[in-house]
Amino acid sequence: MSEASTNTNMPHSSKGISKANPVVTDKLDSIDMEAPEFKDFAKSMVDYIADYLENIRDRRVLPEVKPGYLQPLIPDAAPEKPENWQDVMKDIERVIMPGVTHWHSPKFHAYFPTANSYPAIVADMLSGAIACIGFTWIASPACTELEVVMLDWLGKMIDLPSEFLACSGGKGGGVIQGTASESTLVALLGAKAKKLQEVKATHPEWDDHTIIGKLVGYASAQSHSSVERAGLLGGIKLRSVPADENNRLRGDALEKAIEKDLADGLIPFYAVVTLGTTNSCAFDRLDECGPVANKHNVWLHVDAAYAGSAFICPEYRHHMKGMEKADSFNFNPHKWMLVNFDCSAMWLKDPSWVVNAFNVDPLYLKHDMQGSAPDYRHWQIPLGRRFRALKLWFVLRLYGVENLQAHIRRHCGFAKQFGDLCVQDKRFELAAEVNMGLVCFRLKGTNERNEALLKRINGRGNIHMVPAKIRDVYFLRMAVCSRFTQSEDMEYSWKEVSAAADELELSEAADKK
Q: How far is CA 56 from CA 48, 52, 111, 247, 462, in A?
A: 12, 6, 19, 35, 12
- In what helix (H) or strand (E) does residue 442 lie, and over which residues does it extend? strand 438-443
Distance CA 158, CA 494 (A): 33
Per-residue pLDDT of the chain (513 residues; tens, 9 = 90+): 343 333 333 333 333 434 444 444 444 455 555 566 777 788 888 899 999 999 999 999 999 899 999 999 999 999 988 888 889 999 999 999 999 999 999 999 998 988 999 999 999 998 888 887 877 777 788 888 899 999 999 999 999 999 999 988 888 999 999 998 899 999 998 999 899 889 989 999 999 899 999 999 999 998 888 888 888 788 888 999 999 999 999 999 999 999 999 999 999 999 999 999 999 999 999 999 999 999 999 999 999 999 999 999 999 999 999 999 999 999 999 999 999 999 999 999 998 888 876 665 544 455 555 565 677 777 777 777 888 899 999 999 999 999 999 999 999 999 999 999 999 999 999 999 999 999 999 999 999 999 999 999 998 889 999 999 999 999 999 999 999 999 999 999 999 999 999 988 888 778 777
pLDDT at 358: 65
Q: How far is CA 91 from CA 39, 73, 226, in A?
A: 19, 9, 36
Q: Which residues of 171-185 are buried (b: 16+ CB within 10 A; e: fewer)?
A: ebbbbbbbbbbbbbb
Strands 473-479 and 438-443: antiparallel
DSSP 148-176: HHHHHHHHHHTT--GGG-GGGSSS-EEEE
pLDDT at 174: 92
Length of the chain: 513
Nearest to 414 by CA among 117, 106, 143, 171: 106
Strand partners for 215: 267
Nearest to 337 by CA among 315, 302, 379, 305: 305
pLDDT at 130: 84
By CB atoms closer than 10 A (0-12, 13-18, 19+), residue 162 is middle
pLDDT at 379: 72
Strands 237-241 and 328-331: unpaired
pLDDT at 12: 37
Backbone angles phi, psi at 167, to 5 degrees: -70, -10
Distance CA 229, CA 303 (A): 14
Q: How far is CA 104 from CA 55, 349, 403, 482, in A?
A: 11, 35, 19, 5
Backbone angles phi, psi at 475, to 5 degrees: -150, 170
**Cβ atoms of residues 343 and 317 within 8 Å:** no
Residue type, 428: F
**Cβ atoms of residues 302 and 273 within 8 Å:** yes
What lies within 8 Å, CB to CB, of 478 at 6+ separation is 109, 415, 418, 438, 439, 440, 441, 465, 493, 497
What are the structural domains, with CATH classification, of the chain? 35-115 (1.20.1340.10), 133-386 (3.40.640.10)
Strand segments, DSSP code E, in 453-503 are 466-470, 473-479
Distance CA 248, CA 257 (A): 15
Neighbours of 211 (CB within 10 A): 19
The answer, yes or no, to whether the previous bond of 208 is cis (omega within 30 of 0) is no
Nearest to 214 by CA among 261, 144, 255: 261
Q: What is the pTM of this model?
A: 0.85
